[in-house]
Amino acid sequence: MLRRLGRILLFTITGLLIGSVFLVVVYREVPPPVTPLMLIRLVEGRGISKSWRPLDAISPNLMHAAMAGEDTKFCEHHGFDWEAIHADWRRYEEGARRLRGASTISMQTAKNVFLWPGRDWIRKGLEAYFTVLIELVWGKARIMEVYLNIVEWGPGIYGAEAAAQYYFQKTARALTIDEAARLAAILPDPLKWSASRPDRYVAERAAFIRAQIPDLPLATAACRGIAGQ
Protein backbone atom coordinates (compact mmCIF):
# COMPACT_ATOMS: atom_id res chain seq x y z
CA MET A 1 0.00 0.00 0.00
CA LEU A 2 2.75 2.44 0.96
CA ARG A 3 4.68 1.54 -2.20
CA ARG A 4 1.59 2.24 -4.31
CA LEU A 5 1.02 5.60 -2.61
CA GLY A 6 4.68 6.41 -3.15
CA ARG A 7 4.35 5.71 -6.87
CA ILE A 8 1.23 7.84 -7.12
CA LEU A 9 3.01 10.68 -5.33
CA LEU A 10 6.05 10.33 -7.57
CA PHE A 11 3.93 10.33 -10.73
CA THR A 12 1.99 13.36 -9.47
CA ILE A 13 5.12 15.36 -8.70
CA THR A 14 6.70 14.36 -12.01
CA GLY A 15 3.55 15.39 -13.88
CA LEU A 16 3.45 18.76 -12.12
CA LEU A 17 7.11 19.40 -12.90
CA ILE A 18 6.67 18.51 -16.57
CA GLY A 19 3.49 20.58 -16.78
CA SER A 20 5.13 23.61 -15.18
CA VAL A 21 8.11 23.49 -17.54
CA PHE A 22 5.76 23.06 -20.49
CA LEU A 23 3.77 26.16 -19.49
CA VAL A 24 6.91 28.24 -19.05
CA VAL A 25 8.16 27.20 -22.49
CA VAL A 26 4.79 27.95 -24.11
CA TYR A 27 4.51 31.36 -22.44
CA ARG A 28 7.92 32.27 -23.80
CA GLU A 29 6.13 32.85 -27.11
CA VAL A 30 2.41 32.89 -26.30
CA PRO A 31 0.78 35.59 -24.15
CA PRO A 32 -0.72 34.14 -20.94
CA PRO A 33 -4.48 34.31 -21.61
CA VAL A 34 -5.47 34.85 -17.98
CA THR A 35 -3.89 34.77 -14.52
CA PRO A 36 -5.16 33.37 -11.20
CA LEU A 37 -5.49 36.91 -9.82
CA MET A 38 -7.64 37.96 -12.78
CA LEU A 39 -9.98 35.04 -12.12
CA ILE A 40 -10.15 35.84 -8.40
CA ARG A 41 -10.99 39.49 -9.12
CA LEU A 42 -13.59 38.35 -11.65
CA VAL A 43 -15.31 36.23 -8.99
CA GLU A 44 -15.19 39.27 -6.68
CA GLY A 45 -17.26 41.19 -9.22
CA ARG A 46 -14.60 43.05 -11.19
CA GLY A 47 -14.24 42.65 -14.91
CA ILE A 48 -11.11 42.02 -16.93
CA SER A 49 -9.81 44.79 -19.16
CA LYS A 50 -6.53 43.95 -20.87
CA SER A 51 -4.91 44.26 -24.26
CA TRP A 52 -1.57 42.59 -24.90
CA ARG A 53 1.16 44.76 -26.40
CA PRO A 54 4.67 43.68 -27.44
CA LEU A 55 7.52 45.35 -25.62
CA ASP A 56 8.32 47.68 -28.51
CA ALA A 57 4.75 49.04 -28.33
CA ILE A 58 5.18 50.08 -24.69
CA SER A 59 6.94 53.30 -23.78
CA PRO A 60 10.47 52.83 -22.40
CA ASN A 61 9.40 55.37 -19.78
CA LEU A 62 7.10 52.77 -18.23
CA MET A 63 9.73 50.02 -18.30
CA HIS A 64 12.22 52.26 -16.55
CA ALA A 65 9.66 53.56 -14.04
CA ALA A 66 8.63 50.01 -13.15
CA MET A 67 12.25 49.11 -12.49
CA ALA A 68 12.85 52.29 -10.49
CA GLY A 69 9.78 51.69 -8.35
CA GLU A 70 9.78 47.92 -7.98
CA ASP A 71 13.22 46.48 -8.72
CA THR A 72 16.22 48.74 -9.36
CA LYS A 73 18.52 45.71 -9.72
CA PHE A 74 16.33 43.98 -12.32
CA CYS A 75 19.11 44.11 -14.93
CA GLU A 76 21.75 42.76 -12.54
CA HIS A 77 20.20 39.91 -10.58
CA HIS A 78 19.15 36.44 -11.71
CA GLY A 79 15.67 36.59 -10.24
CA PHE A 80 16.44 37.29 -6.58
CA ASP A 81 17.77 40.38 -4.83
CA TRP A 82 19.76 38.57 -2.16
CA GLU A 83 20.86 41.77 -0.45
CA ALA A 84 17.24 42.83 0.06
CA ILE A 85 16.27 39.30 1.14
CA HIS A 86 19.03 39.25 3.77
CA ALA A 87 18.01 42.70 5.01
CA ASP A 88 14.39 41.56 5.36
CA TRP A 89 15.50 38.43 7.20
CA ARG A 90 17.51 40.50 9.67
CA ARG A 91 14.47 42.70 10.32
CA TYR A 92 12.38 39.56 10.84
CA GLU A 93 14.87 38.19 13.37
CA GLU A 94 14.79 41.55 15.16
CA GLY A 95 11.03 41.24 15.54
CA ALA A 96 9.79 43.60 12.85
CA ARG A 97 6.06 43.22 12.34
CA ARG A 98 6.09 44.53 8.79
CA LEU A 99 8.86 43.75 6.33
CA ARG A 100 9.78 46.02 3.46
CA GLY A 101 9.60 43.22 0.95
CA ALA A 102 12.29 41.89 -1.36
CA SER A 103 10.14 40.78 -4.27
CA THR A 104 11.75 41.40 -7.64
CA ILE A 105 9.93 41.96 -10.93
CA SER A 106 10.89 38.40 -11.88
CA MET A 107 9.34 37.05 -8.67
CA GLN A 108 6.20 39.15 -9.13
CA THR A 109 5.85 37.91 -12.70
CA ALA A 110 6.22 34.28 -11.64
CA LYS A 111 3.64 34.77 -8.90
CA ASN A 112 1.14 36.65 -11.06
CA VAL A 113 1.28 34.29 -14.04
CA PHE A 114 1.35 30.90 -12.33
CA LEU A 115 0.23 31.22 -8.70
CA TRP A 116 -2.38 32.51 -6.30
CA PRO A 117 -2.03 35.54 -3.99
CA GLY A 118 -0.78 34.79 -0.51
CA ARG A 119 2.22 34.67 1.81
CA ASP A 120 2.31 31.03 2.86
CA TRP A 121 5.58 29.12 2.56
CA ILE A 122 4.27 26.66 -0.05
CA ARG A 123 3.39 29.49 -2.40
CA LYS A 124 6.70 31.21 -1.68
CA GLY A 125 8.56 28.02 -2.54
CA LEU A 126 6.67 27.64 -5.81
CA GLU A 127 7.28 31.31 -6.55
CA ALA A 128 11.03 30.75 -6.21
CA TYR A 129 10.82 27.68 -8.46
CA PHE A 130 8.96 29.52 -11.23
CA THR A 131 11.27 32.52 -10.87
CA VAL A 132 14.27 30.31 -11.64
CA LEU A 133 12.45 28.80 -14.61
CA ILE A 134 11.44 32.08 -16.25
CA GLU A 135 14.89 33.59 -15.71
CA LEU A 136 16.40 30.58 -17.48
CA VAL A 137 13.83 30.19 -20.26
CA TRP A 138 12.50 33.70 -20.92
CA GLY A 139 15.26 36.18 -20.21
CA LYS A 140 14.87 39.77 -19.04
CA ALA A 141 13.08 41.21 -22.07
CA ARG A 142 10.34 38.58 -22.02
CA ILE A 143 9.94 38.82 -18.25
CA MET A 144 9.47 42.59 -18.53
CA GLU A 145 7.07 42.17 -21.45
CA VAL A 146 4.89 39.67 -19.58
CA TYR A 147 5.02 41.69 -16.36
CA LEU A 148 3.89 44.92 -17.99
CA ASN A 149 1.06 43.10 -19.75
CA ILE A 150 -0.44 41.20 -16.80
CA VAL A 151 0.20 43.32 -13.71
CA GLU A 152 -2.87 44.74 -11.95
CA TRP A 153 -3.22 48.52 -12.33
CA GLY A 154 -6.72 49.14 -11.04
CA PRO A 155 -10.14 47.52 -10.58
CA GLY A 156 -10.25 45.06 -13.48
CA ILE A 157 -7.37 46.86 -15.22
CA TYR A 158 -4.46 44.66 -16.28
CA GLY A 159 -1.40 45.56 -18.29
CA ALA A 160 0.17 48.72 -19.64
CA GLU A 161 -2.22 49.33 -22.53
CA ALA A 162 -5.39 49.05 -20.45
CA ALA A 163 -3.83 51.21 -17.72
CA ALA A 164 -2.73 53.92 -20.16
CA GLN A 165 -6.19 54.03 -21.73
CA TYR A 166 -7.98 53.99 -18.36
CA TYR A 167 -5.94 56.68 -16.62
CA PHE A 168 -4.68 58.88 -19.46
CA GLN A 169 -6.78 58.03 -22.55
CA LYS A 170 -3.73 57.23 -24.63
CA THR A 171 -1.71 54.22 -25.75
CA ALA A 172 1.02 52.62 -23.69
CA ARG A 173 3.51 53.67 -26.36
CA ALA A 174 2.66 57.36 -25.78
CA LEU A 175 3.12 57.50 -22.00
CA THR A 176 5.28 60.38 -20.78
CA ILE A 177 7.84 59.93 -18.05
CA ASP A 178 5.57 61.65 -15.52
CA GLU A 179 2.61 59.43 -16.42
CA ALA A 180 4.82 56.33 -16.30
CA ALA A 181 6.15 57.32 -12.86
CA ARG A 182 2.62 57.74 -11.54
CA LEU A 183 1.62 54.33 -12.91
CA ALA A 184 4.64 52.75 -11.25
CA ALA A 185 3.85 54.61 -8.03
CA ILE A 186 0.46 52.93 -7.61
CA LEU A 187 1.65 49.36 -8.25
CA PRO A 188 1.90 48.45 -4.54
CA ASP A 189 -1.84 49.12 -4.06
CA PRO A 190 -3.60 49.74 -7.39
CA LEU A 191 -7.07 49.20 -5.92
CA LYS A 192 -6.53 52.07 -3.48
CA TRP A 193 -4.48 54.63 -5.43
CA SER A 194 -5.07 56.41 -8.73
CA ALA A 195 -2.48 57.41 -11.32
CA SER A 196 -4.67 60.11 -12.85
CA ARG A 197 -5.75 61.57 -9.49
CA PRO A 198 -2.72 61.00 -7.27
CA ASP A 199 -2.89 61.92 -3.62
CA ARG A 200 0.10 63.48 -1.88
CA TYR A 201 1.76 60.15 -1.12
CA VAL A 202 1.45 58.88 -4.69
CA ALA A 203 2.72 62.19 -6.08
CA GLU A 204 5.77 62.06 -3.78
CA ARG A 205 6.41 58.43 -4.62
CA ALA A 206 6.16 59.20 -8.35
CA ALA A 207 8.69 62.02 -7.95
CA PHE A 208 11.05 59.66 -6.13
CA ILE A 209 10.67 57.04 -8.88
CA ARG A 210 11.43 59.56 -11.60
CA ALA A 211 14.55 60.68 -9.73
CA GLN A 212 15.76 57.06 -9.56
CA ILE A 213 15.55 56.40 -13.30
CA PRO A 214 18.86 58.04 -14.38
CA ASP A 215 20.76 55.74 -11.99
CA LEU A 216 19.32 52.46 -13.29
CA PRO A 217 21.96 50.00 -14.57
CA LEU A 218 20.38 49.70 -18.03
CA ALA A 219 23.60 49.11 -19.95
CA THR A 220 24.12 45.57 -18.64
CA ALA A 221 24.16 42.74 -21.15
CA ALA A 222 20.99 41.25 -19.66
CA CYS A 223 18.96 44.42 -20.27
CA ARG A 224 20.59 45.68 -23.44
CA GLY A 225 17.56 44.51 -25.40
CA ILE A 226 15.09 46.63 -23.44
CA ALA A 227 17.11 49.64 -22.33
CA GLY A 228 16.64 51.54 -25.55
CA GLN A 229 13.21 50.31 -26.64
pLDDT in tens, 42-66: 999 999 999 999 999 999 999 999 9
Residue 154 has pLDDT above 70, yes or no: yes
Residue 101 has pLDDT above 60, yes or no: no
* Assigned domain for 7 exists: no
* Assigned domain for 198 exists: yes
* Assigned domain for 169 exists: yes
Q: Would you tell me the crossing angle of helices 60-70 and 177-185 to the nearest 10 degrees? A: 40
* Assigned domain for 9 exists: no
Predicted pLDDT of residue 93: 57
Residue 31 has pLDDT above 70, yes or no: yes
Residue 228 has pLDDT above 60, yes or no: no
Residue 27 has pLDDT above 80, yes or no: yes
Predicted pLDDT of residue 102: 72
Predicted pLDDT of residue 97: 54
Q: Would you place residue 98 in the very low, low, confident or very high pLDDT band (cuts 50, 70, 90)?
A: low
Asked if residues 62 and 195 have their Cβ atoms less than 8 Å apart, the reply is no
Q: Which amino acid is at 191?
A: L
Cα torsion for 206, 212, 213, 214, to the nearest 10°? Answer: 140
* Assigned domain for 106 exists: yes
Residue 92 has pLDDT above 80, yes or no: no
Q: Which of 77-91, 129-143, 161-175 has the lowest mean pLDDT?
A: 77-91
State how far the Cα of 39 lies from the Cα of 152, in Å rounded to an integer.
12
* Assigned domain for 183 exists: yes
Number of domains in the chain: 1
Residue 199's domain comprises: 32-227
State how far the Cα of 186 lies from the Cα of 180, in Å rounded to an integer.
10
Cα torsion for 182, 183, 184, 189, to the nearest 10°? Answer: 100
Predicted pLDDT of residue 95: 61
Predicted pLDDT of residue 96: 55
CATH number at residue 104: 1.10.3810.10
Q: What is the pLDDT of residues 188-214, one digit of tens each?
A: 999 999 999 999 999 999 999 999 999
Which strands, in side-by-side order, build the sheet including 49-50? 49-50, 157-158, 152-154
State how far the Cα of 142 lies from the Cα of 125, in Å rounded to an integer.
22
DSSP state of 191: T
Residue 91 has pLDDT above 70, yes or no: no
Average of per-residue pLDDT across 69-93? 81
Residue 89 has pLDDT above 70, yes or no: no
Residue 229 has pLDDT above 70, yes or no: no
Average of per-residue pLDDT across 94-123? 81
User: Between residues 92 and 11, which one has the greater pLDDT?
Assistant: 11
In order of 62, 111, 174, the CA distances from 77 in angstroms are: 20, 17, 29
State how far the Cα of 150 lies from the Cα of 187, in Å rounded to an integer.
12
Predicted pLDDT of residue 43: 94
Predicted pLDDT of residue 7: 75
User: Between residues 87 and 52, which one has the greater pLDDT?
Assistant: 52
State how far the Cα of 13 lies from the Cα of 6, in Å rounded to an integer.
11
State how far the Cα of 93 lies from the Cα of 85, in Å rounded to an integer.
12
* Assigned domain for 205 exists: yes
* Assigned domain for 10 exists: no
